Chains A and B, each alone.
Chain A
Amino acid sequence: MTSAPVISAKNLSLTFETNDGPVHALKDVSLDIEKGDFVSFIGPSGCGKTTFLRCMADLEQPTDGIITVNGVSAAEARRARAYGYVFQAAGLYPWRTIGGNIRLPLEIMGYSKADQAERIARVLELVELSGFEKKFPWQLSGGMQQRASIARALAFDADILLMDEPFGALDEIVRDHLNEQLLRLWARTEKTIAFVTHSIPEAVYLSTKIVVMSPRPGRITDVIESPLPRERPLEIRETPEFLEIAHRVREGLRAGHGDV
């Protein structure tokens, strides 16, 4: 691709000052994410993958280096509502229906009433939750709640989707199903997705680019461009190409992890 990267980090560092001395959550991290990419961040806990995502979202301020989102600073991009963020927990408000929860960011951003209704119907259809608009969150399963939270992040006009282990708390069967759905959704919406995970199969199955990270200090040890086609049935996970990438990711994780 020749256009400017959607997200660009140069020599990004973030150090937390704690009572036990400084913690280098990120050190000299540089990465470009192109438009339409599906980038997974994988690594053991403490490798800074979530911190990196939070820097993109302007939820964390880097202590050094530059990060741009859509060509502007992360803070400016956040104020321009450039991205939707999906957290590990669905975080739906128990006092709002599923439709009401999806309406929440739309109300905050000042969309018109008619536009809100139209968007809610569209994103619910996108995550296959049509008909659940009037239900309250507690009436839905964990997987459905997480889908509703993805719908909420898709409802407004943001071309970037930042996802922080969105399926981490779900069982494997539900996770497989949601992964498949997410790929379909990505193909239909052409969003740029940054996805944090600690599951190798998930990272390999979903991504066009896999970023392997390692801790102490948090850094990138390998960036793998996936040769897999964009169209990916679940069975692709049995193919030699898939296993080869998975192997390379595992090697990368092991190398970065030292003796652990």
Chain B
Amino acid sequence: MRQSFWPVVTVVGLLLVIWYAAAVWLNSDWTYDKATRSGETVTATSLVADTWAQKKPKLPAPHQVAAEIWETTVLKNITSKRSLVYHSWVTLSATLLGFGLGTVLGTLLAVGIVFNRTMDMSVMPWVIASQTIPILAIAPMIIVVLNAVGISGLLPKAMISMYLSFFPVVVGMVKGLRSPDQMQLDQMRTWHASASQTFWRLRLPASMPYFFTSLKIAMAASLVGAIVGELPTGAVAGLGARLLAGSYYGQTIQIWSALIMAAALAAALVGMIGLVQRVTLKRMGMAQ
């Protein structure tokens, strides 16, 4: 942690400088237009002051986004429709449900693929094919079809999350469950171990490092899925809905604050899996 402090601060600082500079550059057109209409002259200081404080900038300055996030999280009641915490929770619940479903589905498919030759030959091509379809194309159809059979609300969004998140779990777990080498499998044979004993005592524990790596990717994919699931339906709540509403009304500050919130959420979720991974592997004696 200590050694990474200054490099991280430096990179963040650099990004902020570029961001502020870009804000001046991108928003200056509007400032000049306004000045021409009112007949004022634009000085360097007034240019910077104006480009960093517009109501609907092309690129909001970092402090504007920070202020918006502060206003919509801390200063708003979390049950309010205008609270970013409320919207984050809507997206988070779909993300977590989809992630859970995706992890279960992915693990089951991987077990099937590893233990059943027919599944190995038949399922894997479909799993890969499923991911070549753009999610933006399939998401509205999932929502519409599920709506038609009377399922709405959380579940359709979670299904889209699951659709994206089961894939890394399948791929990682197939590799993980196959990671024991021939010698270890021969050894099990010399003890006349059953297939289930080999699975629980060798294949499953050996797959754990692969499992956690897959979970991290699956969690990030799941969040993207939940947000994408909120876009086509004109959902009224969720980070996706905030993005959509922001783009309808040109509320760039609102878009950026939703984006930053989504990024922070993803970082927190992936970080949490990393923590569970560290603790688990340490207790298993696999992290040295």
A residues in contact with B206, CB < 8 Å:
93, 95
Which A residue sits closest to B281, measured CB to CB?
A: A95
For the complex formed, measure the closest distance between the CB of B267 and the CB atoms of chain A, giving whole angstroms. Answer: 29
Given A95-B285, A95-B286, A138-B288, check contact A83 B202 (CB 8 Å).
no
Question: Is there contact, CB below 8 Å, between B183 and A94?
Answer: no
Given A81-B191, A95-B286, CB of A108 within 8 Å of CB of B184? no
Select A104's contact among B183, B192, B201, B286, beta carbons within 8 Å: B201
B276 within 8 A of A: no
* CB–CB B192/A81 < 8 A: yes
The reply to whether A89 and B205 form a contact with Cβ atoms under 8 Å apart is no
In A174-202, the 8 Å CB interface with B consists of: none
Which B residues, 167 to 193, have Cβ-Cβ distances below 8 Å to chain A?
Answer: 183-184, 186-193
Q: Are B286 and A78 in contact (CB under 8 A)?
A: no
A59 and B286 contacting across the interface, CB-CB below 8 Å: no
Closest to B285 in A: A136
Q: A87-B186, A89-B183, A138-B288 are in contact. Are A95 and B205 (CB under 8 A)?
A: yes
* B188-222 CB contacts (< 8 Å) to partner A: 188-193, 197, 201-202, 205-206, 208
Q: For the complex, what is the distance from the CA of A109 to the CA of B186, rounded to whole Å?
A: 16
- List residues 242-288 of chain B with CB under 8 A from any CB of chain A: 284-286, 288
Which residues of B lie under 8 Å from residue A97 when comparing CB positions? 285
B197, A78: Cβ atoms closer than 8 Å? no
A168 vs chain B, min Cβ distance (A)? 13
A71 surroundings in chain B (CB, below 8 A): none
* Contact among B184, B191, B285, B288 with A105 in the assembled complex (CB-CB below 8 Å): B191
A107 contacts B by Cβ under 8 Å: yes
Given A93-B205, A108-B197, verify A78-B285 contact (CB < 8 Å): no
Q: Is the CB of B285 within 8 A of A96?
A: yes
Question: Are A91 and B187 in contact, with the CB atoms below 8 A?
Answer: yes
B187 touches A87 (CB 8 A): yes
Q: Which of A78, A85, A107, A136 contacts B187 (CB 8 A)?
A: A85
Q: Are A95 and B284 in contact (CB under 8 A)?
A: yes
In the complex, the answer to whether B193 meets A59 with C-beta atoms within 8 Å is no
What is the bound-complex CA distance between A104 and B206, given in angstroms?
14
| Chain A residues, Cβ within 8 Å of B286 | 94-95
**A57 at the B interface (CB under 8 A):** yes
Tell me the complex Cα distance, A84–B208, Å. 28
CA distance A97 to B286 in the complex (A): 11
Which residues of the other chain, A, contact B208 by a CB distance below 8 angstroms?
95
**21 sampled A-B residue pairs with Cβ under 8 A:** A78-B189, A78-B192, A79-B192, A81-B191, A81-B192, A84-B190, A85-B190, A87-B187, A88-B183, A91-B183, A93-B202, A93-B206, A94-B285, A95-B208, A95-B284, A95-B286, A96-B285, A104-B201, A105-B191, A108-B201, A138-B288
14 more CB-based (< 8 A) A-B contacts, given A95-B206, A95-B208: A58-B189, A83-B190, A84-B190, A87-B183, A89-B183, A93-B205, A95-B205, A104-B191, A108-B188, A108-B193, A108-B197, A108-B201, A109-B191, A136-B285
Q: Which residues of A contact B (CB under 8 A)?
A: 57-59, 78-79, 81, 83-85, 87-89, 91, 93-97, 104-105, 107-109, 136, 138
- B residues neighboring A (CB under 8 Å): 183-184, 186-193, 197, 201-202, 205-206, 208, 284-286, 288
Q: Which 3 A-B pairs have the closest CB atoms?
A: A95-B284, A136-B285, A85-B190
